[in-house]
Amino acid sequence: MTEKNDPFGVREGEISAALPETFDASLYFIGRIRTPWKDRKDCPKNAGQSRASGTVCTIELDPRWAPGLKDVKTCSHLVVLYWMDRSRRDLVVQVPGHYKAARGTFALRSPVRPNPIAMSVVQLVKIEGNILSVIGLDCLDGTPLLDLKPYFVSTDAIPEAKVGWHADRNDA
Amino acid sequence: MTEKNDPFGVREGEISAALPETFDASLYFIGRIRTPWKDRKDCPKNAGQSRASGTVCTIELDPRWAPGLKDVKTCSHLVVLYWMDRSRRDLVVQVPGHYKAARGTFALRSPVRPNPIAMSVVQLVKIEGNILSVIGLDCLDGTPLLDLKPYFVSTDAIPEAKVGWHADRNDA
């Protein structure tokens, strides 16, 4: 574990871990996410901002997996897992540009994490063949898709949940 | 894509896809989940049943990543991503044992999927060092951990979401 401030993207106060020498499991990219955002600076600040804007993005599922969409049209909302393929994986404490405070990686939704899997809850607008139109994504165009799941209120909706550091921040 | 009923675990009505020849990305197991359940038949039927029982499970984060827990104690609930390492990955239509109907993989929360990443929302009870105690997991003891994220009501809680096939089912 090292603490440093180098020119390769580690900010003052950030801490990196030595990555393991080997991987433990492997993923298939099962499709691609199409969004209007070609550059990170153009992306919405977060999924909430994207949802508020009502921007419709599309998810192109590889035809190999398309039979797996049976019954999905009956879901109003989906959990989308995708791969933040441009993110470094070694930071355990990081300073997000818009917060200016050092936070633990597991207290953040930053794409920078040991396994850069993002999770977004989206509203399903329509499905045509292997193409899903959804509202609520905030990622770059071309982002690799990992999974789609039905969103169940009984287990996934916790309206009373709190993120203390976020509620208390004075740096937003 | 084949449709078959063979003795190796594919039920009538299930459809398997040919898996891609290569993988696209790789994962680190960043810890292990400890639960009271050593066999699949002993696991709760789902995360809701586990939460209702109040069973406290523990998440053992590898010490390498422990600094990433900074600020996590301020979160009431976490998103846990973990790897269902005993699951086949080729079924696109499947017949879950407790529903008896063929459903698309992406309309189910079954561990059987191209990338067997499970997502559970848990209540955080306490953190001691690199060990988190949580309520709401339903997986086997020893399940590999992939990620922990803060649960944000603003983007993750959708109390009005519906899963049509589940609401309409007559096979539960």
pLDDT digits (tens, 9 = 90+) for A109-161: 999 999 999 999 999 999 999 999 999 999 999 999 999 999 999 999 999 99
Q: pLDDT averaged over chain B? A: 91
Quote the Cα angle for A63-A151-A26, to 5°: 50
Predicted confidence at residue A46, as pLDDT, reads 80
- Whole-number percent of chain A with pLDDT over 70: 92
CA A141, A49, A148, B42 dihedral sign is positive
Average of per-residue pLDDT across A60-89: 96
Nearest to A70 among B85, B89, B107 (CB): B107
Mean pLDDT across chain A: 91
Of B68, B154, B168, the CB nearest to A104: B68
- Quick one: DSSP state of residue B94? E
Cβ contact A76–B160 (<8 Å): yes
What DSSP character marks residue A75? B
Q: What pLDDT score was predicted for residue B10?
A: 82
The yes-or-no verdict on residue A8 having pLDDT over 70 is no
Structure confidence at residue A32 (pLDDT)? 98
pLDDT of amino acid B49: 84
Average of pLDDT values for A64-83?
A: 98
What pLDDT was estimated at residue A4?
44
Which residues from B are below 8 Å from A23, CB to CB?
26-28
Residue B130 CB: number of other CB atoms within 10 A? Answer: 17
Looking at the complex, report in whole angstroms how far the Cα of residue A56 sits from the nearest Cα belonging to chain B. Answer: 16
pLDDT at B104 over 90: yes
Average pLDDT over residues A9-30: 94
Q: Min CA distance, A13 vs chain B (Å)?
A: 12
Chain B residues in contact with A166 (beta carbon < 8 A):
150, 152
- Cα(B7)–Cα(B112) distance, rounded to whole angstroms? 17
What whole-number percentage of chain A has pLDDT above 90?
74
d(CA A78, CA A58): 13
Confidence of residue B30 (pLDDT cuts 50, 70, 90): very high
- pLDDT for residue A51 is more than 90: no
What does the pLDDT read at residue B6? 47
Nearest to B17 by CA among B104, B86, B85, B110: B104
DSSP state of B74: G
More reliable by pLDDT, A159 or B1 = A159
Q: What percent of chain B has pLDDT over 70?
A: 92
pLDDT of residue B135: 97
Q: Region B107-133: what's the mean pLDDT?
A: 97
Amino acid, single-letter form, for residue A157? A
pLDDT at A2 (0 to 100): 46
B107 exposed, middle or buried (CB, 10 Å; 0-12, 13-18, 19+)?
buried
Nearest to B150 among A73, A77, A163 (CB): A163
Q: Inter-chain contact B79–A28, Cβ cutoff 8 Å?
A: no
Place A7 in a pLDDT band, splitting at 50, 70 and 90: very low
B95-104 mean pLDDT: 85
Position B4 pLDDT exceeds 50: no
Query: What is the mean predicted confidence (pLDDT) over B50-67?
Result: 94
Residues A76, B107: C-beta atoms closer than 8 Å? no
Residue A73 has pLDDT above 50, yes or no: yes
pLDDT at B45: 81
Strand ranges inside A23-168, DSSP E:
25-27, 31-34, 56-61, 77-83, 91-94, 103-104, 117-128, 131-135, 143-150
Minimal CA separation from A142 to chain B, in Å = 14
Neighbours of B63 (CB within 10 A): 12
Side chain identity at A6, as an amino acid letter? Answer: D
- d(Cα A26, Cα B110) in Å, to the nearest integer? 19
CA distances from A103 to A4, A53, A148, B42 (A): 15, 28, 29, 38
Q: B106–A17: do the CB atoms touch at under 8 Å?
A: no
Q: B171 falls in which pLDDT band (50, 70, 90)?
A: low
